[in-house]
Amino acid sequence: MTGIKVPAEKCGSENQTNMIRKLVIGLWAGMLCLAPALFGQGVGAQYQGVFAKATEAPTLEKNLRTLTDEIGGRVPGTLQMDEAVKWAVAAFKAAGADDVHTEDFTMQTSWREGATDVEVTSPTRFKLRATSIAWSPAIQGTLTTRVVDVGFGSPEEFAKAGDIAGAIVLVHSHVLHKWQDLFNEYLDAPPIIDQALKGKAAAIAWTSTREHDVLYRHINAPPEKFDRIPSVLLAREDALRVARLIESGKKVEMSITLPNYMGGPIKTQNVVAEIRGSEEPNQFVLLGAHLDSWNLGTGALDNGCDAAMVIEALRAIKSSGFKPKRTIRFVLFSGEEEGMLGSWAYATQHKGEMDNADAVVIFDSGSGRITGYSLGGRKDVLAKVNEMTKPFEVRGPIENTTDAFVGTDNLDFLLDGVPTLVANQVEANYLVNYHASSDTYDKVDMTELKKNLVIAAYTMAYLADTPRLGPRQTRPEIEQLMKNTGLDEQMKLFNVWPQWEDGTRGRSRQ
Ligand SMILES: [Zn+2]
C-alpha cells in the first residue's frame, strides 16, 4: 500500500481518465478513502496514529487463515480448541501485548456428535441429510417410529396433531433472513420442547432454516445441561419432503441413530492480553470476542474473524505508540456457544474488580458493516457513545441502540452493572452461514472486517482515554433495566434467570 496516495476528494470520483489507473485506485479505494475521511471528521489528533496503524492490519488475514483453515472448528474440550488457545497466546505476544495469559474454567458438560443417521423407512425408503442438535442426548440403539407433523409447534398445532406419545415430531421453520428470525428460532424452541415432552414424544426433528441442504449446529440446552429430548436438524429439502408425504395421507415412519457422546466436566481457557494504562492501570476497558466455535464449518464468521480482529486491534494500538490512560484488556472467550460460559466465568473470577471495569465491548456478528453499538439497555451512556461514533458516519448511517438481549458475551458484565457495547452489524452473509458447514474463511469480507477493525481500535483507545462512560449499576438498577428492556423475560426463556436469582450470575445482593 505504500506509495499509493489518493487525495480524499478524488476517492470514488469519475475524474480519472486512465482506465488502468482507475481500476488500481478502485481496488485500494476502500482502504485509502477510509482513513482521510474519518481523520477529517471529528477524530481527535491523539487517535490518528491508532487509525493509521489499524488500516495497515498486517497480520489479520494470515492469523485468520491459520485459525480457520489450519486449526478449524473449535469446540471446548477438543484438540482444536486447545490449539486455538495456544495460537491466540502466540498471536497476542507477537502483536506486542504487555501481558498475555490464559484463565482456566470448568464446563460441567462436554459433548460431541456420533455417527448420526436418519432414514425414512416407510412408506418409501430414503436417507435424510441430518445432524444432531448440539448437546442433544444420545438415543440408545436406533429409534424407529412414526412421524407426526406439528406444524410450527404452536399449542394449537400440537393440539391438532393429537397423540404424539412415542413419536418423532416434525417441526417446520421459516427461512432465515433477518436477525429477528434468528432470535425467533432460539426463542420459539423452549416452548416447543415443553410441549413435545408433555406429549411424551420420543424425539424432535427440526427443519433447517436454510435452503440448499445447508446444515448447521443449533443448541437449545440450558447452560451446563444437556438438551431435554433427543433432537436432530433435518436438511430443509428433506424435511419438506417428509411433510408432503404426511400431508398426502401417508403414514411416515423414520429411524434415527444418534450415538452422541455425553461427557462430564472439562477444563477450557479464556485468553487475556492487555495494554497497561499509563495513569490508572487498575481501571480497565475490555474488548472481547469468543474464540470457540461450532465445528461443522471452521467458525470463520462466527467468530474467528472477530477473534483475529481483537488481536489486530491490540497490535494497532500498541504499535501506534498510543498510551491509554486506563488499561485495555483484550479477551478471547471460550464456551460462548454453550451459553456464554467463558464470559460468565470471567465475570465471576474478576468479581472483585468489577468496580474498575469502565466498559466492555463485544464483537460477535461476522464481518458485516458496523451500524452502531447496542448499549445493553443503558440509556445513560447513549449521548457519550453517540459522540464517540460520530466519525463512523462516513461509512453509512450509525444508530446506537439501547436494547438488551441474551445472545453474546456482554451479558454477564451487564448483569454485573458494567456498561456494555455490542457491535450492531448488517447481516451481510452472516445468517445464511451461521453455525453452518459453510462458515469458512472464504465467507469473510476482508475489506469490511478491516474497516470494522479501525472502528474497534479507535473505540478502545477512546474509551480508555476519556472520562468514564457511566457508573456501575446497583442490583436494583439492573433489575429496573431488565424490566424496561424485557431482558428478564428472555432470561427466563433461556434458563438464565435462576442463576441471576440464586446469585451465581450477576451482581450479588449486598
Ligand atoms: Zn458467536
For the segment 22-33, the average pLDDT, to the nearest whole number, is 37
> How many domains does the chain contain in total?
2
Q: What's the gap in Å between 165 CA and the centre of ligand 1?
A: 36
Q: What's the gap in Å between 39 CA and the centre of ligand 1?
A: 31
Q: Name the phi and psi angles at 266, rounded to 5.
A: -135, 155
Last residue of a domain, which of 239, 263, 287? Answer: 263
Q: What's the gap in Å between 324 CA and the centre of ligand 1?
A: 28
Residue 46 in domain: yes
pLDDT above 70 coverage of the chain, percent? 92
Q: What's the gap in Å between 299 CA and the centre of ligand 1?
A: 9
For the segment 162-190, the average pLDDT, to the nearest whole number, is 95
Q: What's the gap in Å between 44 CA and the centre of ligand 1?
A: 32
- Do residues 284 and 305 both lie within one domain? yes
**DSSP for residue 374:** E
The CA distance from 50 to 453, in Å, is 11
Residue 402 in domain: yes
What pLDDT does residue 400 have?
A: 98
Residue 189 in domain: yes
Of the given ranges (9-18, 184-193, 205-214, 450-459), which has the lowest mean pLDDT?
A: 9-18
Q: What's the gap in Å between 220 CA and the centre of ligand 1?
A: 15
Q: What's the gap in Å between 66 CA and the centre of ligand 1?
A: 19
- Do residues 87 and 148 both lie within one domain? no
Residue 396 in domain: yes
- Do residues 271 and 256 both lie within one domain? no
What pLDDT does residue 223 have?
A: 87
**DSSP for residue 341:** H
Last residue of a domain, which of 263, 295, 327? Answer: 263
- Do residues 275 and 259 both lie within one domain? no
Q: Where residue 386 falls among pLDDT bands split at 50, 70, 90?
A: very high
- Do residues 190 and 319 both lie within one domain? no
pLDDT > 70? residue 4: no
Q: What's the gap in Å between 367 CA and the centre of ligand 1?
A: 12
Q: What is the mean pLDDT of the chain?
A: 92
pLDDT > 60? residue 30: no
Residue 417 in domain: yes
Residue located via cell numbers 451500524: 371
Residue 178 CB neighbours (<10 A): 10
Residue 481 in domain: yes
Q: What's the gap in Å between 158 CA and the centre of ligand 1?
A: 32
- Do residues 440 and 311 both lie within one domain? yes
Burial class of 180 by CB neighbour count within 10 A (0 to 12, 13 to 18, 19+):
exposed
- Do residues 310 and 421 both lie within one domain? yes
Q: What's the gap in Å between 232 CA and the centre of ligand 1?
A: 21
For the segment 392-420, the average pLDDT, to the nearest whole number, is 94
Q: What's the gap in Å between 268 CA and the centre of ligand 1?
A: 17
Residue located via cell numbers 497490535: 315
Q: What's the gap in Å between 290 CA and the centre of ligand 1?
A: 7
The CA distance from 482 to 61, in Å, is 39
Which run of H or of E encompasses 148? strand 142-149
Nearest to 425 by CA among 182, 111, 162: 182
pLDDT > 80? residue 26: no
- Do residues 349 and 216 both lie within one domain? no
Q: Which amino acid is at 210?
A: R
More confident residue, 198 or 16: 198
Q: What's the gap in Å between 153 CA and the centre of ligand 1?
A: 26
pLDDT > 70? residue 348: yes
Residue 16 in domain: no
Q: Which amino acid is at 505?
A: R
End-to-end CA distance of the chain: 56
Q: What's the gap in Å between 417 CA and the centre of ligand 1?
A: 22
Report CA-CA distances (Å) from 486 to 377, 405, 407: 10, 8, 14
**DSSP for residue 432:** T
pLDDT > 50? residue 3: no
Which run of H or of E encompasses 24? helix 19-39
Write the DSSP assignment of 279-312 as a string of letters. Answer: SEEEEEEEEEEE----SSS--IIIIIHHHHHHHH
- Do residues 334 and 481 both lie within one domain? yes
For 205-264, how does the pLDDT look when each residue is reduced to its tens digit (9 = 90+)? 999 999 999 999 999 998 899 999 999 999 999 999 999 999 999 999 999 999 999 999
Q: Which residue blocks in 74-212 are alpha helix, DSSP H?
A: 79-94, 155-161, 179-198
What pLDDT does residue 16 have?
A: 39
For 415-441, how does the pLDDT look when each residue is reduced to its tens digit (9 = 90+)? 999 999 999 999 999 999 999 999 999
> Using N-to-C axis directions, what is the helix angle for 446-465 and 48-56, rounded to 10°?
150
- Do residues 342 and 269 both lie within one domain? yes
Q: What's the gap in Å between 341 CA and the centre of ligand 1?
A: 12
Burial class of 500 by CB neighbour count within 10 A (0 to 12, 13 to 18, 19+):
buried
pTM metric for this prediction: 0.89
Q: What's the gap in Å between 344 CA and the centre of ligand 1?
A: 15
Q: What's the gap in Å between 336 CA and the centre of ligand 1?
A: 7
Residue 507 in domain: no
Q: What's the gap in Å between 280 CA and the centre of ligand 1?
A: 32
For the segment 447-476, the average pLDDT, to the nearest whole number, is 96
- Do residues 233 and 279 both lie within one domain? no
Residue 98's domain comprises 40-108+265-501
pLDDT > 90? residue 374: yes
Last residue of a domain, which of 263, 296, 314? Answer: 263
Q: What's the gap in Å between 231 CA and the centre of ligand 1?
A: 22
Q: What's the gap in Å between 364 CA and the centre of ligand 1?
A: 5
User: What CATH number corresponds to the domain at position 76?
Assistant: 3.40.630.10
User: What CATH number corresponds to the domain at position 243?
Assistant: 3.50.30.30
What pLDDT does residue 41 have?
A: 62
For the segment 181-197, the average pLDDT, to the nearest whole number, is 95
The CA distance from 404 to 388, in Å, is 20
For 85-108, how does the pLDDT look when each residue is reduced to its tens digit (9 = 90+)? 999 999 999 999 999 999 999 999
For 252-304, how does the pLDDT look when each residue is reduced to its tens digit (9 = 90+)? 999 999 999 999 999 999 999 999 999 999 999 999 999 999 999 999 999 99
The CA distance from 421 to 71, in Å, is 29
CB 217 within 8 A of CB 73: no
- Do residues 365 and 408 both lie within one domain? yes
